Amino acid sequence: MKDRLIGFIKTYCLFVCIFVLQKPLFMLFYKSLYPDASCADWFSVIWHGLPLDLSLAGYLTAIPGFLFITSVWTLSKSLYRIWCSYFLFISVLISIIFTVDLGLYEYWGFRLDATPLFYFFSSPKDAVASVSIWMVLGGIVAMAVYAVVLYAVFYGILLQKNLLLRMKLPYRRLKVSGILLLMTGLLFIPIRGGFTVSTMNVGKVYFSAEQRLNHAAINPAFSLMESLAKQKDFSKQYRFMEAAEADRLFKDMLEPAVAGGQTEETDSVRQSADSLHTLFNTQRPDVLFVILESFSSRLMTALGGEPNIAIHLDSLSKEGVLFTNFYANSFRTDRGLVAILSGYPAQPTTSIMKYPRKTQSIPAIAGSLRKAGYGTKYYYGGDADFTNMRSYLMSSGFEDIVSDQDFPVTERLSKWGAHDHLVFNRLLEDLKAEAAEGTAEEKTPHFRVLQTSSSHEPFEVPFRRLENDRLNAFAYTDSCAGDFVRQFRELPQWKNTVIVFVPDHLGAYPEHIDNLSVERYRIPLLMVGGA
| SS3 of residue 498 by DSSP | strand
| Short-list 376, 469, 471, 456, CA closest to 419 | 456
Q: 288, 450 in Cβ contact below 8 A?
A: yes
**293 among annotated binding-site residues:** yes
Q: How does DSSP classify residue 448?
A: E
DSSP states of 313-367 as a string?
Answer: HHHHHTTSEEESS-B-S-SSHHHHHHHHHH-PPPPSS--GGG-HHHHTTS--HHH
**312 among annotated binding-site residues:** no
Tabulate helix, strand, coil % of the chain (nearest 5). Answer: 55, 10, 35
**504 among annotated binding-site residues:** yes
Bridge partners, residue 450, by sequence:
290, 379
Q: Tell me if residue 333 is catalytic.
A: yes
* Catalytic residue (choose from 333, 387, 477, 497): 333
User: SS3 for 33-65, per residue?
Assistant: HCCCCCHHHHHHHHHHHHHHHHHHHHHHHHHHH
DSSP states of 232-294 as a string?
Answer: --GGGSS--S-HHHHHHHHHHHHSPPPGGG--TTT-GGGS-GGGS--S-SSSS-EEEEEEETT
Q: How large is the greatest C-alpha to C-alpha distance in the chain, in angstroms?
A: 94
Q: Which residues are annotated as a binding site for Mn(2+)?
A: 293, 333, 504-505
Annotated binding site for substrate: 456
Question: Binding site: residue ranges?
Answer: 293, 333, 456, 504-505
Residues annotated as catalytic are 333
